Structure 1
Amino acid sequence: MDLPMDLRKRRKQSHKRRWSEHNSTRQTLILQAAVELIEEHESGAEISIQQIAERAGLARSVLYRQFDNREDLDARIREFIRQRAIEQFESAMVLDPAKTVGETLLDLMRTVVGWAADHPKLYRFEQSGRLHGHSAPQSGAVVGRQRLAELVWQRFSTVTAVLGIDVRPFHPLAHGVIGLVEGVVNQYIVAPGDSGRADPEAIAELLATSVWHLFSGHAADNGYRFDRDANAAALLGGLLDTAADGKRPPAAESGR
């Protein structure tokens, strides 16, 4: 007896969904296995398909079915690494109401610097070539910098929009700040050991202070003065209250 058309269609869709989920699980196993092997080997060491397959507990033929070729696999590994780093960065951007503005900024820099210091081999591999879904000239370094810059800008501009402050002219600085952080991390955290690797905490403090001065300097030029030792939640609450009243923020003084 033939099944109704709609039932056959639903069964077919269900089968496709289960197969897609199955493949997604396998791909995650493969990518996680590759990440583990990258961390275990010397930077730049060749890691074979066979090694990845054995670590993932799969046949080598499965890897060839999941990815177009070795270049595609490497591009997906870089994307996997980048996404993990961004997730940590996003978690660090959640405001802790008990901390000051300076402490919040320092925590953010500790997250970025700490991840690179804990995973220098992954950091280098992610920056060594293209990410999945991007053309060859767009390396992980370029794409990652753009993503982080836009993420920071989105959070910052969302708040300033509520406050009625036009910060559009400063959009390029979001990319500049990420470039500053990346440059310092590359030179002093993930550089080869014989180049004088710096203390991650000292680098995080240096970056936090530098970013603060950049922000507060531009704020002061526009008539705003902020104290980085002020409680972040209280400061934001005050800004929101005064913005609702159509007044200038209480933390602001005439800078002109």
Structure 2
Amino acid sequence: MTRAADTPTSGYAERWKSHNVERRAAILAAAADLVEQSPPGADVPVQRVADQAGVAKSVVYRQFKGKDDLERTLRQFVLDQFADELETDLDISHGSLRSILARTIDSAATWMSEHPRLVELLRAGPAAASPDAPDAIGELKRRIVQRSDDTIAALAVATGADRSAFEAIPFVVVNMVEATLTSWIRGESAATVRSRDEMVAALTDITWFILDGAAHTIGVTVDPDEELATVVAGLTVPQDTIQTV
């Protein structure tokens, strides 16, 4: 007896689904390219998106419910790309604390300065996965804050440290970095004369000062230039001493 998963019909369905996913991604990539090529605030017609993607306009409307759905999904597409880069750099398995902070802040500074139109797109409205959020930038910051919170929680469990001193830090730091880089890119303050490397170094130092201050409140001293894995190993509480509830 032939299983349903092996029937020609199911195979065709899987190929069609894959084709639709690829076509949808091509349309979103084309829309993102057009946003980057357009003047600030310019409207990008659906027909131009279709032409850029090499498909008929009707195909775009088969993939998306309308222009609003296309725009929300495009914000989600761009948000996911930006967040993936930041979350990769936030990997604490390699590098010192200072280098992890620097590479993550540099990643944000580079992406925001190289894609100003896409950043403004994220500010213009919600993403598909968070339709009730004010804008996609807010969702991006929420994801990075959550990733940082999870990292702090894991480190607290491993070291037995009191995490309460660090609980507000991800929210404060993420919002500070985003606001500062936005002002720098827009040329809204004297800090705009600084190069990207200088801005990254300054924000890295400020973030380290915040973390160092919080660490000292619980009696922990951390060398920011020592491999973080080594630091954590030195602070780790033996498993047989951890009390379970």
Question: TM-score, with normalisation over the residues of structure 1?
Answer: 0.84
Residue among 80, 83, 87 paired with 2:84: 87
Which residue does 1:112 correspond to in 2? 108
What is the SS of the residue equivalent to 1:38?
helix
Separation in structure 2 between the aligned mates of residue 244 and residue 100 of structure 1, nearest angstrom: 23
Question: Judging changes above 3 Å, is the alpha-carbon distance between structure 1 residues 20 and 96 closer, same or farther for their aligned structure 2 residues?
Answer: same
Indicate yes or no: 2:209 matched with 1:213: yes
Match of 1:236 in 2: 232
Taking every aligned residue pair, what percent have the same amino acid on both sides?
A: 23
Q: 1:166 is matched with which residue?
A: 162
Q: 1:37 aligns with which of 21, 30, 34?
A: 34
Tell me the residue number matched to 1:251: none
Whether the 8 Å CA contact 1:35–1:122 is kept in 2: the answer is yes
> Does the C-alpha gap of structure 1 residues 245 and 68 become closer, same or farther in structure 2, counting only changes over 3 Å?
closer
Query: Residue 41 of structure 1 aligns to which amino acid in structure 2?
Result: S
Contact 2:165 2:214 in 1 (8 A): no
Q: Deviations over 1:97-123 (max 9, x none)?
A: 4x4322222111111111111111111
Range with bigger deviation, 124-133 or 24-33: 124-133
Q: Counterparts of 1:162 and 1:16 in 2: how far apart (Å)?
A: 47
Unaligned runs of 5+ in 2: none
Match of 1:45, SS?
coil
SS of 1:215 mapped into structure 2? helix
Give, in angstroms, the shift of residue 39 of structure 1. 1.1
In the other structure, the counterpart of 2:10 is 13
Q: Which residue is 1:129 aligned to? A: 125
Counterpart residue type for residue 156 of structure 2: T
Structure 2: which amino acid aligns with 1:244? P
CA distance in 2, matches of 1:10, 1:171: 53
Q: CA deviation at 1:46?
A: 1.3
Q: 1:77 is matched with which residue: 59, 74, 79?
A: 74
Does structure 1 retain, via aligned residues, the 8 Å contact 2:165–2:215?
Answer: no
**Is the Cα–Cα contact under 8 Å of residues 133 and 139 in structure 2 kept in the other structure?**
no
Cα RMSD over matched residues? Answer: 2.4
Bigger CA drift: 200-209 or 13-22? 13-22
The structure-2 alpha-carbon separation of the partners of 1:27 and 1:111, relative to structure 1 and needing over 3 Å to count, comes to same
Task: Write the mapping of 1:132-147 to structure 2, written as runs, cut at 5 A.
Answer: 132-147=128-143
Give the CA deviation at 1:195.
6.3
Q: Structure 1 9/231 Cα, relative in aligned 2: closer, same or farther at 3 Å?
A: closer
- TM-score, normalised to structure 2's length? 0.88
CA contact (8 A) 1:131 1:138 kept: no
Q: CA deviation at 1:215?
A: 0.8
1:116-155 alpha-carbon deviations (Å, 9 max, x no partner)? 1111111111121010032344311221111110011112
- 2:197 matches 1:201: yes
Q: Which residue of 1 aligns with 2:56?
A: 59
Correspondent of 1:150 among 125, 146, 155: 146
One-letter amino acid matched to 1:77: L
Q: 1:49 to 1:204 in 2, by over 3 A?
A: same
Unaligned runs of 5+ in 1: 248-256
Whether the aligned pair in 2 keeps the contact of 1:78 and 1:140 (CA below 8 Å) is yes
Q: Structure 1 pair 174/7, CA: closer, same or farther in 2 (3 Å)?
A: closer
Per-residue deviation, 1:169: 5.9
Counterpart residue type for residue 88 of structure 2 = S
Q: For 1:233 and 1:226, how far apart are their aligned partners in 2?
A: 12
